[in-house]
Amino acid sequence: MHIYQNNLSLERALDEFKKKYGSKITIEDGSVDITDCFFNIEKNKYEAPYSYGDLNENYVYSYILYGAPFVQKFKKNEKGKPVFNLVTKGYERVDLTNDMIVLASMCLKPMKNTSFHEMYDGLKNVKGIQGFKRRVLNKVVEKIKSEYIFDPDKDTMFIFSGSDETIENAINLNKIWMKQAFLYGAKMLDFVESDESDLIKTMFNCESDKMEAMSYFPEKPWHVPESVEFLKRKCELVKKI
């Protein structure tokens, strides 16, 4: 069973995303190492989502997008706390939106990235959710504010984990896709840039039977099928080069 049953399309989502945000968003050129924000001094260990791996060996970086917080992910109860579903073994999601389709398409499994705002919003009234601690997100915000002018209620960031090379590739590809979405909407599915093509070849296996396994939360109730379509469309363009 999948949570998301919808009549939205990838093309429509991208065009609406461009219309809503295209002229409002600025992408920060650099990125910030936020690995130390996950270290618990009292316990003398890192505390991070399981998917981030061992932070004694891996790193966590983020880059900033100014101009919009993007998306709320979790349903909340009357106390403002995310609702845990005992059947799906996960937190209930709000209804799928165009924004969520676009972000899911750019949060593919090999990229190991997270939208900051969905965690920031989800942690406002709880201490932890999906491996993220509220105190960790607070430390992330403090570190970002020490280097940039950043307002978590107006801006956002993407957070990436992995080795130095993996993170660099994922951030570069994510920035390319975000810029394309803001500038071109659905037309971004009709072309591939040379740097983008090289990064796709490095990060993804473009064989058709591997696509779903690399999409947004494959085999989970909150899987977004449009993320499979997005990757397929981009891989088809890469194969033609």
pLDDT tens-digit readout, 169-215: 999 999 999 999 999 999 999 999 999 999 999 999 887 777 778 87
- The pLDDT of residue 4 is above 60: no
Residue of 26 and 221 predicted with greater confidence: 26
Between 81 and 189, the more confident residue is 189
pTM over 0.75: yes
Q: Per CATH, the architecture of 10-239 is what? A: 2-Layer Sandwich (3.30)
Between 216 and 177, the more confident residue is 177
Give residue 2's pLDDT: 44
Query: Is residue 233's pLDDT more than 90?
Result: yes
89-130 per-position pLDDT tens digit: 676 666 678 888 898 898 888 888 888 887 877 777 778 777
* Domain spans in the chain, listed from the N-terminal domain onward: 10-239
> pLDDT tier at 86 (50, 70, 90 boundaries)?
confident
Compute the average pLDDT of residues 10-20.
94
Query: What's the confidence (pLDDT) of residue 222?
Result: 67
Asked if residue 7 has pLDDT above 70, the reply is no
Average pLDDT value over all residues in the chain: 86
The per-residue pLDDT for range 23-67, each reduced to its tens digit, is 889 999 999 999 999 999 999 999 998 888 899 999 999 999 999
Rounded percentage of the chain residues whose pLDDT exceeds 70: 90
Average confidence (pLDDT) over 138-165: 92
SS (H, E, C) the chain: CCCCCCCCCHHHHHHHHHHHHCCCCEECCCCEECHHHHEECCCCEECCCHHHCCCCCCEEEEEEEECCCCCCCECECCCCCECEECCCCEECECCCCHHHHHHHHCCCHHHCEEEHHHHHHHCCCCCEECCEEHHHHHHHHHHHHHHCCCCCCCCEEEEEEECHHHHHHHHHHHHHHHHHHHHHHHHHHHCCCHHHHHHHHHHCCCCHHHCHHHCCCCCCCCCCCHHHHHHHHHHHHHHCC
